Structures are given as structure tokens and as C-alpha cells.
Amino acid sequence: MKILDSIKSPEQLRMIDPNLLPQLCEEIRQTIINTVSKTGGHLGSSLGAVELITALHYVFNTPKDKIVFDTGHQAYAHKILTGRLAKFNTIRKKGGLSGFLKIYESPYDTFGAGHASTALSAALGMAMARDQKKQNHKVVAVVSDGCMTGGLAYEALQNAGQLKPNMLVVLNDNQMFISKRVGALGSFLTKLLTAKYVTAAETEATKFMSNFEIGNNALKLAYRARSILFSGALFAELGFRYYGPVNGNDIAEMTDVLSKIKDIPGPVILHVVTKKGKGYPPAEQKPTKYHGLGIFDAETGETIGKSDKITYTKAFSDALLKLAKEDRNITAITAAMPEGTGLNAFRDEHPDRYYDVGIAEEHAATFAAGLATQGIKPIVAIYSSFSQRCYDQIQQDICLQNLPVVFALDRAGIVGEDGPTHHGVFDLSLFRNIPNLIIAAPSDENELQHLLKTAFDCKKPFILRYPRGSGEGVALDEEMKVLPIGKGVWLKKGKDLTILAIGNRVYPSLEAADLLKKHGLNAGVINMRFAKPLDVKIIKDALKISPNLISVEDNVLAGGFGSAIAETLADNNLQANLLRLGIKDEFVEHGKQAELYEDIGLSAQEIAKAALKKFK
């Protein structure tokens, strides 16, 4: 019988002989590999954090003691050890376990998060609430080195240094973001781990600690880079006691150090070094590829079932390279997501015009604004769900000054298995209210490249949003062209009603029109292309044929594309029977994209059903 099969909770984990922990960690690691190969998910970070998470639950009295994880990319071992082993094979599946942490999934998930840099603020809040209520449990924040580039992390660090609660911050340093880490902090952490600094630190710490009685050798080595040495100076200045770096993949060392350090008063940082992809050679060799992936062969690591169609991300990447070849002022910016946004190709071809700012979307936006004031043509490529972080910068620094910055919002609409933290279903509502801003959504990969050229040509703030995954399989025009701003196109006309569709709901709307024809309803379809400015003329033309309109969008209904149409009808005194289809006032859970579009009423079949119910 496997050791893991007998662990139903951390309470049971804490009862086993510590000599069995290495075997348990290997069983956890193999469970993660076998499961993720069938479900897809975040593999590399979770493999690297197995020993760290096991040690945390072994040493701390969870769930009374609170462990707060940043993002949850690293926390699959946490799910397995906290009573969810039997359901782990459902991870990221519809109705199954979330790929991230959720407070309503388990009492051990103390704080839900899918975006980075939140753990320190949340943990600090928990620590201060504990003190305010005169309680005595421990609070631990587990933060990856990539998350430490987010501004929110430093706001929390400086506040914690001021408040000085008893809390432990575990800096899980796997020397990566999702991609290779960048920036001054990345260089700082790398310097900590070079042979020269580590060797010098060990020598100095050994001399210094020989004068004190503070515990065993592991703790002495953990203390080697405190404020007396260069390594911990940054954190010491912020008011933290700094220990590390220690080997996060050595379960014995981790449990030993955590046991000694957990009762040290005040805010403490423990710098832990882990290997992303630990124990799985393909992931160790290519940690970026195996950060998050779909179904793969566990033996070979090869992806299974990959579509032959070009993805929207690839279409964007290829089009950007073509345009950048013709115009040396085009410059690309990403927030630690070069592979995810397709900017890795631009990075490799134009390194002098490429900037990775780390997990700092706010900075990315205002940095782009600064570039634009000097005649550079910046494009900021980020995920739709991350764009909400820089709303203020887009409004104040870019649109108020009418600066020509292009935002490429990848993963707009339903993203699938990553769930509610990553669905890009709010951007139309977020940004449609900002003056000077143009918002467009292509219906396919060919239209994407034309709209990208249009975005650079118009010399105004521009958002281009497009979905995750494969395109429609259409042929790509050799030459990109500029499309008229704010103009939609008729795809077919119908005497009974007109479907006004945008983005990746255009093709399902065409299919819905074919289904409606079988039921005696003749439906037209317009590809609106632009959510702002809206094509008022084409809406008026549609109303001349029929007063029945349906708006279809992969955004929340409140304040979105359908709302824009309703406003246009009201403002122009136009009489219409409008049915708005989109995402209701709710968070959409995780599952396959097709499953979720069906559930929320935005598949071709559901669009047709809604039309029949309203207009038949």
C-alpha cells in the first residue's frame, strides 16, 4: 500500500515517521504527473514545490494555522494532502476540482487566487485579524519569486515591516516566472545563489553563528544571509528577519528549518530554492513549456491531440512580426508572458524592441505611454483577465492623453479549464466607457491580422481582444489591410431578425442562423467587428429589414456589447425588439470551452434556441 493512500488529511500526515516523507513526496510527484498528463494543468511549479508543501503541512497545524499561496500554480501537492486525493483526477474538469485555490472548495484553501502577488497582502490581513482577536495561530504566505515583481507584493512588504506581526513569508525561488525571470529583483535573487555569494555567506555565517546558541546546523545555514550579509539586506531594510537560501527540495532540511523558524517573532522571510519541474525530466529540461499544458504522454512528455489550426496567439505573433519588419518603431511589451502571448518570436527577432516588465501590468501600460510620447509605436500584449489591473493607467495615462498605445488582449472570452480567475469576460464592460479608446474583436484569425494593422494605423488608443485556442481555419491573406474604424459587415441578410455578433461569437451566430432556417426563421448576421465605436448605420439598416435584433457577445451582459446596442437604440429613438445574449451576472466556473459556451447559452444551438423562444 502506498503511503499516500493512507493520508486523508494533514493531521494524518503529521502522524507518520519523518523517514517516510521522501517516499511520500515521490508518490505525490508521480500522482501529479499521471493526473496532469490526462487532464492538463500547471505541472512544473507544482512538481517543484512538493517537498516544500509537504513540510509546511507536516510542521504547521493546518487548517488552524493559515497557509496562503500566491496564484495556486504551485499548490497541487497542497490539494492532494488536504483530503482531495480521491478527486484529484477531476482537476480542471467541469464540476471537478479547480486548478487554483478556492475558499469554498476546502477549509485548507484560506484564500483564493489565480492572479499573482496577492498572498502577502492577504496573509498580512489574516495575521492582523488574528492579533486583533487575541488568537495565537500561525500565518504563512508562500510566494514565488515571479510574484515578487508585482507592485502589490511590495506594498504588503512595507506595511508588514511597519506593523511587525508574527508571520512567515516563504519565498519559493524556482528561478523562473512562467518564463525565465527578468528585472532587477530577478538579478538580485540570482546573485544570492551564485557560488561566490553562497560560499562566502556560509563561511561568514559559520564564523558568526559559532558565537551564538540558536539551534542545529541547518538553522545556522538558513541564517547565513541575514542583514549582516549582502543577501538579506533588502528584506532586512523592510523590517523582516531573513533566512536562506535553503534547499526546498530536501524534505528533511525543510522540516528541520521550518520547525526552528516558525516561532521566531515578527515578520520573517525564508528563502527557499526549488527546481521547477523537479523529478520529471521533460519538465526540468523545458520548464517554460511544462508550466501549464494540455493532455500529454506521461512517458515521453509529448502533447496529445493538438489542433492543426493556427491559434489566435500564433496569428497575432506572425502578423506582428510582419508589421515590425516594415516599421522599426513598433515595440512590444509583455508582463512576464512572452510565450503565452506569442511575443517570444518578437523577442527573438527584435530583442532591442522587446520589453518584459515582469508581473507588473500597471507599469507596462504607463511605460508604453512614455514610449508613445516619443514617437514609438508600443503594443502591450497581456491576457484579458490581467488587463483589469491597469484600468487606471489605460484611462489616465493613455486615453486621457490620447496616446497611440495598442493593447493585444489574449484569452478574451471563456478560456476553459483555468476558470473564473482567467476568463476574459469583463474587458468590454471595463473599457467601453473610456473616451478616445477604440475596441475591436476579430471573428477569425485573418480578420485579426487586418485589425492589428488597423490598430497601428489609426494612431489612437486601441484594444484588440481575441480568444484562446485555435482559430476558424480560414486562409490568411498575404497582404494585411486597414479596415474602416467602427464599421461592421453583413455576412447574410434575413427578413425575420438580425444577429449582431462580435468576436468569436460570429461563427456560432452564422451556424445558429442556419439552424433557425430549418425552423422557419430567416435570420441575418452582422459581424460588428467594433464594440467601440459602434456602427450605428448598419444597425439602422438592419432595422429597416426587421425590428428583431439579437446581440451576441462573450462578455458579461452588464455594460458590454449588448448594452452598447441598447444605448444606441435609446439615444437614436430607434424602435427594436432586442434580445441580448452574453454572460449573466455570475462567475463562470471551469471546464472545456465548448462545454461552458453551451452552459451559458452562447453556443450555436443555444443561440438558436433563444431566438426561437423570443421571436417564433
- What positions carry a catalytic annotation? 276, 361, 389
Q: Which of 250, 339, 248 is nearest to 287 (CA)?
A: 339
Residues making up the chain, counted from first to last: 616
Residue matched to cell numbers 431578425? 497
The Cα diameter of the chain in Å comes to: 90
- The answer to whether the CB of 392 falls within 8 A of the CB of 362 is yes
Rounded to 5°, the CA angle 609-615-616 comes to: 75
Q: Which of 161, 64, 62 is nearest to 120 (CA)?
A: 161
Peptide bond into 508 cis (omega under 30): no
d(CA 198, CA 18): 28
Q: Which of 89, 99, 100 is nearest to 37 (CA)?
A: 89
Strands 292-293 and 41-42, by their bridges, are: antiparallel
Burial of 526 (0-12, 13-18, 19+ CB in 10 A): buried
Bridge partners (DSSP) of residue 273 are: 173, 247
Q: What does the radius of gyration of the chain's CA atoms come to, in whole angstroms?
A: 26
Q: Which of 456, 444, 504 is nearest to 481 (CA)?
A: 456
- The answer to whether the CB of 542 falls within 8 A of the CB of 549 is yes
